[in-house]
Structure 1
Amino acid sequence: MVPHIGERFRKIGWEMELFSLPRRIRNKGHDPIKFETFDWQTYAGNAIVDKYIQTYKDYIWWVKLRLSGQKYDLIHAHHPIAALAMKHIFVDTPVLMTIHSSYERELILNGRIADGGAEHRFLTAIYTELEHQTDQLMTVSNSFAKYIGTYLKEPELIEVIPNGYDEKRFKPVPHENEVTQLVTVCRLVPAKGLDILLRACAELRQRDIKFVLHIIGDGPIREELEALSQSLGIYDDTIFYGYMLHPEELMPFFDVFVLPSRAEAFGSVFAEAALCLLSLVGTDVGGISEQIENGANGLLVPSENPVALADALETVINDPHFRYEMARAGWNKAKKTYSLNRVISELKRIYTSFDKEIEQEQGTDKQET
């Protein structure tokens, strides 16, 4: 989304620069790290924490190397490390931070760290540091704002701006499939609940309901999922694609998008699927439940419940008219609520609040990184 936003802002005369840390930069930074709101040293010695701190050092090193002497009206970061590093270097420049997801919840759900353990406490302490260091915190859903707000002193100041999408990239394609085509697009990790999806599809098979399940994406549990689909007797009904650079090019030819995530800050792929005129089935968690109004523009089911998921899938498979009506409602909502123009308008409002001169002189260049 960020490159498309930059392009739109440049079209209205606001100069923007995109900046990130290349993957090849490793162990270059050596500046001592100190946080204002907590002592990170108490968490040192844990792999996740040590890697986080080193990446922070590397980012500072890279910023000093590449951006030394530069001046910016405003900096909008999309990763906590980027926000903290930029504020470390550009002390007097307003730094805005959009928190897109919860790294700690993802690690917990994927079995990489313990709930309440040292790494978990460190990562949630970063939210407090971000509030202290940055000039504005933003996030992508009300549910996620509520989650991170538990770690902030003034949670009411969080701005919520749902993600926006370039409609030109997502276009419905008229098609008729003899057998209902289900699709999911995600990284293959436990947090996405694909084991629940496979068990739901096995339940459909037991009910003698025809379907084809397309799984687009790759990840560390792919072999495990393939083995599960074989043991459940649905391997011949399931297609594992692996990683795909532009899944939106294939998406419009399916019928139902389904993803039973265990947690989602927003769930961008639901909006993308809606713009492709797919019917939506998801879990009643996080940002998914803000996108889907159950029974109106999609179906919501409890997480960790393969039977409930199978029931929802049976409904959309057996009732094509209902499926289409929900898809049409989802498409209308996505076009209205998740348009890139809306995001541009919201960001412009926030950006100009930090510089009244820009508000008065709309033609003045603005720099952001």
Structure 2
Amino acid sequence: MNILQALFFPPEQPGGVSSMVPYIQERFAAKKGWEMDLFSLPKRIRNKGTAPVVFATFDWTIYAGNPIIEKYIQTYKDYLWWTRMRLGPTFDLIHAHHPIAALAMKEAFPDIPVIVTIHSSYERELILNGKIKEGGEEHAFLTSIYREVEERTDQILTVSSAFRQYLGEYVQDSERIGVIPNGFDERRFRPVPHENQVPQLITVCRLVPAKGLDVLIEACGLLKKKGLPFVLHMIGDGPSRQDLEKLAADLNLYEDTIFYGYMLHPEEFMPFFDIFVLPSRAEAFGNVYAEAALCLLAVVGTEVGGIPEQIENGKNGLLVPVNDAAALAAALEKLILDPTFRYNLARSGQEKAKRAYSLNRVIKQLVKVYEYYSHRPTEESAGESPDGPQKSDDVTLS
């Protein structure tokens, strides 16, 4: 079987699905002998596409002139232009990992089955980062895209039950949305024996408001006032960095906080720390929580999106309410003061991540989906999917 993995960001970009798919490609080649190619839109391709855009389920032109929407439409045009320039209809199946990629692929190759995994909510990120208003025209446009994807692709997948529920508000048949949580190659995440005199906290993410890092720094300020020992390491870069550095200085955390900026392979660095903490305001899944657990770190997250599907509070990590610096400080204090509890939590977290988020599990589920759609039943024989409607981390095949 010849499968195309259609990415939005190039595979060399660290973090997220783009960095995960090459490991899937490698495992499929080794285990199944299937051909699998990767495709994405290079950064240099800008304003090349000129073909008119017509959607089947809504008229996007009522939003014409809005700069964010116009940029989205132009990116779609560019992706379609690049697809037609570089690819031919030589694939048995296409697995897209972004709505733009999915819609462009289906337009270019209408006779090839297209599956799409929607990994996150672009509109929620824009709202939380202060770029658009909830209920505004950008929000309306971006959520309308989900219905268009439902109409034109063969199968929608997503990465958590929580995000499936979110998407269900914008499609006609939410039962058609399957859930396959992301999977990770354990070989990339190797715990390292270490004994830190002072507990080392680490967070890894893009420095944007949606990640709640201001709350993390405020929580660390409360720990500092109590005289608790710690060092906070922040790996990542983004538009919030200057504000976060100022907040750390204002809260007398200059000596306790290290801003590293962008790092290519943070998973190689992570095992030397003790506690991973990321108080996100929204996460469809949150790859980095599973990655930290595989590195044998105690994990602290927030009660939003797909994070509670990974973390069971008090058993394999700690959960706190969103935007609650006091609760976050209390959770961190518990881990700082009790190394035994911290280790037991980390061990349980690692066991859960190995069991639930192994790359082998993802491969088995994708094989089922790929084989079904590469041998799509005729209209006469179509009906219930091979195993019937399924929930959780199994897939409903429409």
Q: SS where residue 347 of structure 1 aligns? A: helix
Instruction: Kindly indicate whether residue 174 of structure 2 is the aligned counterpart of residue 152 of structure 1.
Output: no
Instruction: Kindly indicate whether residue 102 of structure 2 is the aligned counterpart of residue 102 of structure 1.
Output: no
Aligned to 1:347: 366
Instruction: Kindly indicate whether residue 264 of structure 2 is the aligned counterpart of residue 245 of structure 1.
Output: yes
1:267 maps to which of 282, 286, 294: 286
Q: CA deviation at 1:64?
A: 1.0
Q: CA deviation at 1:67?
A: 1.0
Q: Specify every segment of 5 or more residues in structure 2 that has no aligned partner in the other structure, as ranges.
A: 1-19, 377-398
Instruction: Kindly indicate whether residue 120 of structure 2 is the aligned counterpart of residue 120 of structure 1.
Output: no
Structure 2 counterparts to residues 284-295 of structure 1, below 5 A: 284-295=303-314
* 1:63 maps to amino acid: T
1:233 maps to which of 248, 252, 255: 252
Q: CA deviation at 1:3?
A: 0.8
Offset from partner CA, 1:36-58 (integer Å, 9 cap, x none): 00000011111110001001111
Aligned to 2:349: 330
Instruction: Kindly indicate whether residue 77 of structure 2 is the aligned counterpart of residue 62 of structure 1.
Output: no
Q: CA deviation at 1:135?
A: 0.2
TM-score, structure 2 length as denominator? 0.89
Q: Which has the higher contact order (CA 8 A, sep 6+)?
A: 1
Q: CA deviation at 1:355?
A: 3.0
Superposition RMSD in Å: 1.0
Q: CA deviation at 1:354?
A: 1.4
CA distance in 2, matches of 1:44, 1:272: 41
CA distance in 2, matches of 1:101, 1:129: 16
TM-score, structure 1 length as denominator? 0.96
* 2:138 maps to amino acid: E
Q: CA deviation at 1:157?
A: 1.2
Offset from partner CA, 1:225-264 (integer Å, 9 cap, x none): 0000000111110000000000011100000000000000
Q: CA deviation at 1:205?
A: 0.7
Structure 2 counterparts to residues 26-175 of structure 1, below 5 A: 26-68=46-88, 70-175=89-194
CA distance in 2, matches of 1:59, 1:335: 36
CA distance in 2, matches of 1:9, 1:298: 32
Aligned to 2:322: 303
Offset from partner CA, 1:265-293 (integer Å, 9 cap, x none): 00100000000000011111111111000
State the percentage of identical aligned residues.
66
1:24 maps to which of 36, 44, 51: 44
Q: Specify every segment of 5 or more residues in structure 1 that has no aligned partner in the other structure, as ranges.
A: 358-369
Offset from partner CA, 1:317-369 (integer Å, 9 cap, x none): 00000000000000000011000000000000011111349xxxxxxxxxxxx
Q: SS where residue 102 of structure 2 aligns? A: helix
Instruction: Kindly indicate whether residue 43 of structure 2 is the aligned counterpart of residue 15 of structure 1.
Output: no
* 1:43 maps to amino acid: Y
Aligned to 1:363: none
Q: CA deviation at 1:311?
A: 0.3
CA distance in 2, matches of 1:201, 1:60: 47
